């Protein structure tokens, strides 16, 4: 795996991704998984981070231990949620650590925000778009799951607005990372999805490219980038992965490439103390 925009890290069998701007700011620990380096088997092989798709729970916990060790994050700090393609975002604190990992998870939450150190925000993916946000000045982070439904609800922009309103963040200080997801090369949608994007006020013609009648190739990464920029995040403060999870289904879990027979990837971010 080679990238021009993100950092691909290898530790033995484990392969994971980090984002240059988040690394350089020095305020956070973060990591995005690939399929490689875990202990799961079969369709979940090998690094599956979902407790809800039928994999052995102890293997999933071991996968989190392996991934978190590489990032320097304690599994005791993890906060997971049951994602349902909403634009709902939960502000969490140290009291929420263990949610979704060692105690019941949040329901119908697709984004997490915290201003407390040692609270590791987790989102999961298998073609949808990861969006990580960090204000290294105010020390605030967010982690959101943006499929096409979350994107048309502008979940990334909502996270920015919450950071500004709740914690006094300045938009120009916010760093963003848009992770691996299904690429424009592999993601065909129809007229109802096209119509859902029109009211967003971004350049729809750049985000959706017409193909056959009533069908379009959707660029989720560009859509989320444009929405973040519309929310005031500076273009130069955004890293965007150049990986397509569907094209690289041997390296990333992809719902589309496997007809749903797959594990989940995870994005994790935590403020340093």
The average pLDDT across 177-193 equals: 98
Contacts of 181 (CB under 8 A, 6+ apart): 125, 127, 128, 129, 130, 220, 221, 241, 244, 245
Answer yes or no: is 202 within a domain.
Answer: no
Structural domain of 63 = 7-182+232-271
Question: Is the CB of residue 251 less than 8 Å from the CB of residue 46?
Answer: no
pLDDT band at 10 (very low <50, low <70, confident <90, very high): very high
Beta strands in 57-204 (DSSP E): 78-79, 81-82, 89-91, 106-107, 111-114, 120-125, 129-135, 140-146, 175-178, 188-190
CA-to-CA separations, 121 to 1, 2, 109, 251, 261, in angstroms, rounded: 26, 26, 12, 23, 25
Answer yes or no: is 155 within a domain.
Answer: yes
Answer yes or no: is 214 within a domain.
Answer: no
Q: Tens digit of pLDDT for each residue in 194-209?
A: 999 999 999 999 999 9
Answer yes or no: is 262 within a domain.
Answer: yes
Per-residue burial over 186-202, b = 16 or more CB atoms within 10 Å of its CB, e = otherwise:
bbebeeebbeebeebeb
% residues pLDDT > 90 (the chain): 100
Answer yes or no: is 177 within a domain.
Answer: yes
**Predicted model pTM:** 0.98
Q: Can you give the CATH number for the domain in which 250 is found? A: 3.60.140.10
SS (H, E, C) 19-35: CHHHHHHCCEEEEEECC
Please count the structural domains in the chain. Answer: 1
Answer yes or no: is 188 within a domain.
Answer: no
Contacts of 224 (CB under 8 A, 6+ apart): 129, 131, 146, 151, 156, 178
């Amino acid at each position: 795996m080679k990238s021009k925009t993100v950092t691909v890290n290898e530790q033995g069998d484990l392969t994971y991704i980090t984002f240059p701007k988040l690394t350089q700011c020095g305020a956070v620990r973060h990591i995005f998984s690939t399929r490689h380096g875990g202990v799961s088997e079969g369709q979940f092989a090998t690094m599956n981070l979902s407790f809800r798709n039928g994999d052995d729970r102890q293997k999933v916990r071991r996968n989190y231990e392996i991934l978190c060790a590489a990032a320097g994050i304690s599994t005791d700090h993890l906060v997971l949620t049951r994602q349902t393609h909403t634009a709902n975002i939960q502000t969490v604190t140290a009291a929420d650590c263990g949610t979704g990992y060692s105690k019941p998870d949040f329901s119908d939450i697709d984004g997490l925000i915290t201003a407390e150190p040692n609270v590791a925000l987790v989102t999961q993916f298998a073609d949808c778009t990861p969006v990580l946000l960090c204000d290294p000045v105010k020390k605030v982070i967010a982690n959101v799951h943006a499929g096409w439904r979350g994107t048309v609800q502008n979940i990334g922009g909502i996270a920015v607005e919450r950071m500004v309103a709740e914690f006094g963040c300045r938009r120009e200080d916010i760093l963003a990372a848009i992770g691996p997801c299904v690429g424009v090369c592999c993601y065909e949608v129809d007229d109802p999805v096209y119509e859902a994007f029109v009211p967003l006020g971004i350049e729809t013609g750049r985000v959706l490219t017409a193909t056959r009648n009533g069908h379009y190739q959707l660029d989720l990464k560009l859509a989320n980038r444009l929405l973040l920029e519309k929310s005031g995040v500076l273009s130069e403060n955004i890293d965007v992965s150049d990986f397509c999870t569907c094209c690289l289904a041997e390296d990333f879990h992809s719902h589309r490439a496997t007809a749903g027979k797959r594990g989940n990837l995870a994005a994790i971010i935590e403020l340093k103390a």
